[in-house]
């Protein structure tokens, strides 16, 4: 459902955008979204604990990046694309995201180094997904993908980090034969 609504929001953004140069960039984003969404959909074939791990780690990263950036943020990270992203927010999100990772993997007696490796794989992809969604919005000249979630934007505004992180994490699981 999230993927379908996210796809709708991208198509809506493409229709709104009248500038042909911007349209080409948005079209590339659309293709990238479709590919990563397909990767995320493969989670139907992995153990549910892996999906829970991904969801909680990325949610903690996304949420606490915003909170710590708001509270402690001083140095802008990518001001031209997303002026509210800060280095302090990024660091806070990374640190807090290890908490659910260690808790979930602790229940399954997964070694700490493996948990850390999974986070090192997931978190850059989560940040990249968020960054590219911000870039898309900046190029399209919009603040939110939609007003579907009042005060939070659309589905893509809430789950942009999840889509790319999910595709990358699935590839990691596939390569390491975790299922």
pLDDT in tens, 67-82: 998 899 788 887 777 7
Q: Helices H, strands E: what count in the chain?
A: 6, 2
Q: Is the pLDDT of residue 50 over 60?
A: yes
Residue 127 tokens read as: 């940040």
CB burial class (10 A; 0-12, 13-18, 19+) of residue 63? middle
Mean residue pLDDT of the chain comes to: 80
8 A C-beta contact, residue 101 and residue 53: yes
Give the global pTM.
Answer: 0.80
DSSP category for residue 18: -
Alpha-carbon distance 41 to 35, whole Å?
A: 10
Which residue(s) pair with 82 in the sheet?
78
End-to-end CA distance of the chain: 24
Confidence of residue 48 (pLDDT cuts 50, 70, 90): confident
H or E, element range at 78 = strand 76-78
Q: How much of the chain, in percent, has pLDDT values that exceed 90?
A: 30
Q: Is the pLDDT of residue 26 over 70?
A: no
């Amino acid at each position: 459902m999230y993927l379908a609504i996210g796809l709708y929001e991208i198509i809506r953004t493409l229709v709104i955008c009248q500038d042909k140069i911007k349209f080409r960039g948005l079209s590339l984003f659309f293709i990238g979204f479709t590919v990563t969404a397909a990767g995320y959909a493969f989670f139907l074939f992995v153990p549910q604990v892996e999906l829970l791990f991904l969801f909680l780690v990325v949610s903690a990263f996304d949420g606490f990046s915003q909170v710590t950036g708001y509270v402690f943020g001083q140095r802008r990270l990518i001001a031209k694309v997303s002026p509210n992203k800060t280095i302090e927010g990024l660091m806070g999100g990374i640190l807090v995201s290890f908490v659910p990772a260690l808790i979930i993997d602790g229940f399954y007696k997964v070694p700490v180094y493996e948990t850390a490796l999974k986070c090192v794989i997931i978190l850059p992809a989560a940040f990249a997904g968020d960054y590219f969604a911000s870039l898309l919005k900046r190029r399209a000249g919009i603040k939110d993908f939609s007003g579907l979630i009042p005060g939070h934007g659309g589905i893509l505004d809430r789950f942009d980090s999840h889509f790319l992180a999910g595709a990358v994490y699935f590839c990691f699981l596939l390569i390491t034969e975790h299922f």
